[in-house]
């Protein structure tokens, strides 16, 4: 059996970025598309700008506060809510990693202690982003209710759960699993 080609031991950063961009772009288009249409057609610009500013303030929330917003300290709660299923179709999820391992059998997203620490930092970054978006979706959804656009409010709420709430829980679940 020939020795493995060291150049094929791990995928290039560009290939990793490409594979992980696909689910990100897909989920973003499915969720942000309807939100964008509603904002463009129905939200008065001063309200929209206010919602953006209010939502962006979440970036100022310290990491310690995010720990207090954690749903559970055990993975069982997250499993009951189906959070691992979201992880399968997300960036660096089972689907993406499985596709990468077909070509690069030795590839592991988290292979060293340094990569674990990096992943923990990344989960906080992703969680904070989804809290910002969750608040923005909530504000726009509330605006839709105020304008008696119930169908839009329901659609925005549904996409908020899938695009923001579950990804928040996924980041928390990943940290809980890493600290076990």
Across the range 164-177, mean pLDDT stands at 97
DSSP assignment of 53-89 equals HHHHGGGGS-HHHHHHT-S-SSHHHHHHTTHHHHHHT
Q: How confident is the model at residue 111 (pLDDT cuts 50, 70, 90)?
A: confident
Looking at per-residue pLDDT, the higher value among 114 and 118 belongs to 118
Report the pLDDT value the prediction gives residue 6, as an integer from 0 to 100: 53
Is pLDDT of 3 > 60? Answer: no
Label residue 4 exposed, middle or buried (CB < 10 Å: 0-12, 13-18, 19+): exposed
Q: Give long-range contacts, CB 8 A cutoff, 24+ apart: 25-33.
A: 27/89, 27/90, 27/162, 27/163, 28/163, 30/159, 30/163, 31/159, 31/160, 31/162, 31/163, 32/163
Could you give the CA distance from residue 43 to residue 133 in angstroms, rounded to a whole number?
17
Question: If you average pLDDT over every residue of the chain, what do you get?
Answer: 92
Q: How confident is the model at residue 33 (pLDDT cuts 50, 70, 90)?
A: very high
Report the pLDDT value the prediction gives residue 56, as an integer from 0 to 100: 98
Report the pLDDT value the prediction gives residue 52, as an integer from 0 to 100: 98
pLDDT tens, residue by residue, 118-165: 899 999 999 999 999 999 999 999 999 999 999 999 999 999 999 999
Report the pLDDT value the prediction gives residue 115, as an integer from 0 to 100: 82
Is pLDDT of 167 > 90? Answer: yes
Q: Does the reported pTM lie above 0.75?
A: yes
* Residue-range domain boundaries for the chain: 11-178
Is pLDDT of 21 > 90? Answer: yes
Q: How confident is the model at residue 2 (pLDDT cuts 50, 70, 90)?
A: very low
Q: How confident is the model at residue 7 (pLDDT cuts 50, 70, 90)?
A: low
Looking at per-residue pLDDT, the higher value among 67 and 6 belongs to 67
């Amino acid at each position: 059996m020939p020795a493995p080609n060291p150049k094929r031991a791990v995928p290039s950063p560009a290939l990793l970025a490409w594979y992980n961009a696909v689910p990100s772009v897909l989920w973003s288009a499915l969720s942000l598309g309807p939100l964008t249409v509603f904002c463009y057609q129905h939200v008065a610009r001063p309200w929209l700008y206010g919602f953006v500013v209010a939502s962006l303030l979440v970036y100022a929330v310290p990491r310690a506060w995010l720990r207090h917003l954690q749903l559970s300290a055990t993975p069982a709660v997250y499993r009951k809510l189906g959070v691992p299923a979201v992880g399968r179709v997300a960036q660096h999820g089972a689907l993406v990693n499985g596709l990468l391992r077909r070509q690069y059998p030795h590839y592991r997203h988290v292979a060293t202690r340094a990569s674990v620490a990096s992943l923990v930092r990344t989960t906080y970054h992703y969680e904070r982003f989804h809290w910002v978006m969750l608040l923005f979706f909530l504000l726009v959804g509330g605006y839709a209710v105020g304008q008696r656009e119930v169908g839009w409010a329901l659609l925005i709420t549904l996409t908020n759960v899938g695009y923001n709430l579950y990804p928040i829980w996924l980041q928390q679940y990943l940290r809980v699993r890493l600290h076990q």
